[in-house]
Structure 1
Amino acid sequence: MGGKTFISMESAGWIIGIGGNPGSTIIFDTKDNKAIRGPKLIAKKWCPVVAAVGNKIYALSRRPDFLQEPDFLQEADFVPWFEVLDLSKATITETEEGLSLDACSWEALPYQLCFPCKLTPKAYKRPAFITVRSSVVVEPYILISLNQPTNYINAFDTNTGKWHKIDDQYLPFVGDATQLGHGSSIFLASPWENGPINAYDIHVSVSNPENISSVADKGGALKLSITVFSIRNKHGDVSAKKGIITSLGKKHFCELLSFEGCGRYLVYDGETEESYPGKLYLQLCTYQTESRALQGETSEIVVSCQQELTSRIRSSRGFSSAPIAFSLSI
């Protein structure tokens, strides 16, 4: 499971894991409690940015590589950096190896504007280090910001299949923002690592709908509006703890933290000749929010209830040390 990003599809009752090496797709059907093997990505992606919009799943390299790396460097992401899986006609087939998802396959999508697809001989020797710093899905757009200082946001239109730029804007948070309830315009994220958890009211609009086809490629056709709300409890701001923030509906969200076991709980894998922790400790913090309120000149969301639950998981095969990631769905 190492290097995968997990996403939920409420309409199907599925939890889908995508990425890692060799870039497999695994599905867990929560209705039937069964695992389904999905198609492999065209190119492996380590903890990719994943978004589900309608019946389609999008996987974007979080750190694109410009050079084909040796197989032992498992975190290398080579082209294509952006792929889509259309599940509208997918079928489930029972085989000797278990359930398999058929009649669908990953397809390459156009190069994004922020990842240069051509390099000069000099740049090829020392290619730029680019990572996706933050991302959010505001239907029908997938918005991303990079680690490099830029004055624009990259937006992918899932309706037209084209990339656009939103000038003079940036996403004011790190990581993947999670939507607070299906269909909501409120998203949760942290402005910096280990910082407070904020709520962001995000809207994308078209400044000139009649000329969108001619103007969008040049930038300026899309407009972004972001309003920030602080999330507070009786002790002050609610802070992230290096965990995974995910929504549990319109009034609830949680943060999941994982800690690896060590020492005598290590499991040795003869194939990889490496040892993996046999225990994983999980801490789940759940929050219940009240309606938004205006306090002075700032808006905030008040947490009325907070609970913590700690559990321990064992595995005879061990756990990968790669981070777990949850991503975006609409």
Structure 2
Amino acid sequence: MPTPTPTPTPGSKTRRKDKNAAAATRARARLTRVRRGKKNKASSGPSGEAAAAKQPVYLVVEHGVEDPTHSILEVAAGAAPRPLLYGRRGMSFAAVGTRYGPRIVGLGLDRNLIYNPETSKEVEGPPLLDRMAHPILIPHGGELFDLDENSGWRYLPPPPIFPCRLNPLEYRDPPEVQVAAYAVVGSHILLSVQQEKGTCAFDVVSMEWEMVDDRNLPFIGQAVPVGGHRFVACSKARDGAPAVYYIEVFPPGTTSTGRSELSIIELPVKSKGIVPRQHLCAMGTGRFSSFDIRSVDPGPEAKLDKARIVHRSYSLEEGDDASANSVVVVKEQRQIYKLRDPSCHLAYPSPVVAALTV
């Protein structure tokens, strides 16, 4: 007597398909929101979530040993990283506004790439004049300097604090110079190096460098603009804790010395609100975000499979004491995401190399 063929129960095929779909979803890299924080205080402007929706944030993720070396993803629940096919190790990244819309540029070694976040398209840019690893990228308006369909590179005069002329002994053992802090203030790019050599400024209008202060900039890394000559940056005096600065560059005609002069005032902050961070990101006038990347030591193999990204949004408000020019930093929201990519490992200790708004 033949064995009867089992009759499938209603919904059995659907369940099998659901399991296959779930497995396929798990195999793809995703940014998953695991916790959504509460607002600590209502701001007088639009909510942090509404502001974030108007100005998206993109993270550039570095991989471990696999190619492609980098991926890019939008900070949103369920976002999938897009591999950057022209990425190379040693690249730095910056967001640039162009007449065709915003672009994210990666630059390092002798290569560069241009990524369109609106279309998710990537093209390779023109070759660089020299090889460089992890360069400091400073966009100013629509220039990096200049970015359009006929992109090209040209040399600019070197900063006066860089060792450009070496004697024979220095040539055999050249000094190491590394940019320690920088900011874009009006038409000037401010720059300090690790050695105490003061602060120089590059005027993007006259294309000239000049010294504007005998002291170095009081912060580490990039100062993030939040509007009205105010910047958020990591203070050197407080071991990298973020602080708020008021920065101005006075032109030669307004100073007693007849030269450009720099004014930096650290504003008193009337709240306990800024959390130490790895990445700061401007979100428009009076707003910024911080990103902390948390991961577990992967051990001797250094193969990182997953990381947590803590995204906090803040706003700046005027303090009660107008004479002291104080500010209140309000933490609006905290969201925690889990980043996992089963197809390739993440770079350790920090897989995120840039946080950019476009």
Residue 45, structure 1, aligned to residue 132, structure 2: yes
Give the structure 1 partner of residue 290 of structure 2: 255
**CA separation in 1, counterparts of 2:154 and 2:93?**
19
Pairwise CA distance, 1:179: 1.0
User: Separation in 2 of the partners of 1:278 and 1:303?
Assistant: 34
Percent of aligned positions that are identical: 24
- Tell me the alpha carbon deviations over residues 174-196 of structure 1, each in whole angstroms, 9 at most, x when there is no partner: 11111115xx4211101127533
Say whether 1:34 aligns with 2:70: no
1:154-173 residue CA offsets vs partner (Å, 9 max, x unmatched): 11111111111113343111
Q: Does 1:239 align with 2:327?
A: no
C-alpha change, 1:294 and 1:43, in structure 2 (3 Å) is farther
Q: What SS does the aligned partner of 1:39 have?
A: coil
- 1:141-290 alignment runs, 5 A limit: 141-150=188-197, 152-181=198-227, 184-192=228-236, 194-208=239-253, 221-233=259-271, 236=272, 238-241=274-277, 243-260=278-295, 263=298, 276-290=303-317
How far apart, in 2, do the equivalents of 1:160 and 1:276 lie? 48
Indicate conservation of the 8 Å contact 1:188/1:197, yes or no: yes
More strand, by proportion: 1
CA pair 328-133 structure 1, distance change in 2 beyond 3 A: farther
| 1:256 maps to amino acid | F
Q: Which has the higher contact order (CA 8 A, sep 6+)?
A: 2
The structure where helix makes up a greater share of residues is: 2
CA distance in 1, matches of 2:115, 2:133: 20
Change beyond 3 A, Cα 1:28–1:19: closer
- 1:297 CA displacement: 5.2
Normalised by the length of structure 2, the TM-score is 0.65
Equivalent residue of 2:326, what SS? Answer: strand
Q: Does residue 105 of the first structure (1) align with residue 152 of the second (2)?
A: yes
What is the match of residue 107 of structure 2? 19
Indicate whether 1:121 and 2:181 are aligned: no
Rate the CA distance shift 1:135–1:257 in 2: closer, same or farther, 3 A: same
Q: Deviations over 1:187-228 (max 9, x none)?
A: 11011275331111111121327xx9xxxxxx9610112222
1:48-84 deviations in whole A, cap 9, x for unaligned? 2211123310xxxxxxxxxxxxxxxxxxxxxxxxxxx
- Cα contact 1:190–1:196 (8 A) shared by 2: yes
Looking at structure 1, the residues matched to 355 and 169 of structure 2 have their Cα atoms a distance apart, in angstroms, of 36
- Structure 1 ranges of 4+ moved more than 6 A: 327-330
Q: Is the 8 A contact 1:18 1:25 kept in 2?
A: yes
3-state SS of paired residue (1:123): helix
Shift of 1:291: 2.7
Matched, 1:309 2:309: no
CA RMSD of aligned residues (A): 3.3
Please report how far the alpha carbon of residue 15 of structure 1 lies from its aligned counterpart in structure 2 after TM superposition. Answer: 4.1
Residues 126 and 227 of structure 1: CA distance in aligned 2, closer, same or farther (over 3 Å): same
Unaligned 5+ runs, structure 1: 58-84, 92-102, 213-218, 267-274
Q: Write out per-residue CA displacement over residues 254-287 of structure 1, whole angstroms, 9 at most, x where no aligned residue.
A: 11122456659x7xxxxxxxx7534343222222
TM-score, with structure 1 as normaliser:
0.70
1:64-75 pair list within 5 angstroms = none
Shift of 1:298: 6.9
Asked which structure has the greater CA Rg, the reply is: 2
How many residues are treated as equivalent by the alignment? 268
Structure 1 residue identity aligned to 2:243:
N
The answer (yes or no) to whether the contact 2:247–2:263 under 8 Å persists in 1 is yes
- 2:92 is matched with which residue? 5
